[in-house]
Amino acid sequence: MKKIINCPENVVNDMIEGIVKAHPEYIKRLEGFDVLVRAKKPCDSKVALVSGGGSGHEPAHGGFVGEGMLDGAVAGEVFTSPTPDQVFEAVKAVDNGKGVLLIIKNYTGDVMNFQMAGELAEAEGIKVDSVVINDDVALENSTWTTGRRGIAGTVFVHKIAGAAAEKGMELEEVKRIATKVNDNVRSMGMSLSPCTVPAAGKPGFTLEEDEMEVGLGIHGEPGTHKEKVKTADKITKDLMDKIFDDIEIKSEDEVAVLVNGLGGTPLMELYIVNNEVQKILEEKGVKSYKTVVGNFMTSLEMTGFSITILKLDDELKELLDYKADTPAYKQF
């Protein structure tokens, strides 16, 4: 195993310290916990958003703490859910009196621990609600989930629900918006190589030199199948076909696109993928309203990408365009 770390047991702590020192104007660490919160609480009382999950997906989730997105992010060990007490402390730290929305990716540990933390917070008089993100069209059930997995589509939920909260909407409305995004977003990914969890010291799965894994999860969970490596255009078409088979998007509809790198894929290749995504949308008569390309929800050093398509209406477009300013996402 070759990694630029000190020791496997300290990777999360060292990473969090490094993030805070890089972005002190945006975030600070909650003392004693693997929790990042806004460096300055919003001046106005607003619904607070908390998300998180296992580390190894950076810049998710700490990179999205800031104006117009998250108020707090909780980091578990690599590919491991944060504990309920960590989430509970995050909720208490960010609550402004108008309630807290937990944005949870659909993994068994995350769902259980975040919801347990919500119950602890409610017992202390904090109003808490949650939404579980399940945008992955690859599998109905997987190694770590009942139902679909939550992957890169979560970023659009952070952005749009974050805007709703920033605009002063009440908790019920912010949850409605987050649920609406989840209902209209679909993602699917692929990989050319595995990744290595530092504590494990070896890759989580194997691929032959001429193989790729289609539909895998962001922790390296098995996808739908392995097959021979294809051209970028053919891979992209296969993923887009699967997405369009799962959600009705008609000619003249507008969508937002996220082409997301898994950590080890050059931007050159992500832009090649996006080129084909845009061609496919144009052929279908679908309008690409906004496109984001880059590393937003990674899997350590995995080589691969995912495509996320969000079907928009006027309400979602307005919130997608709303100002956001975080370490990993800036929009003015």
Active site residues: 57, 219
Please write down the HEC assignment for all residues of the chain: CCCCCCCHHHHHHHHHHHHHHHCCCCEEECCCCCEEEECCCCCCCCCEEEEEEEECCCCCCHHHECECCECEEEEEEECCCCCHHHHHHHHHHHCCCCCEEEEEECCHHHHHHHHHHHHHHHHCCCCEEEEEECCECCCCCECCECCCCCCCHHHHHHHHHHHHHHCCCCHHHHHHHHHHHHHHEEEEEEECCCCECCCCCCECCCCCCCEEEECCCCCCCCCCEEEECCCHHHHHHHHHHHHHHHCCCCCCCEEEEEEEECECCCHHHHHHHHHHHHHHHHHHCCEEEEEEEECCCCCCCECEEEEEEEEECHHHHHHHCCCEECCCCEEC
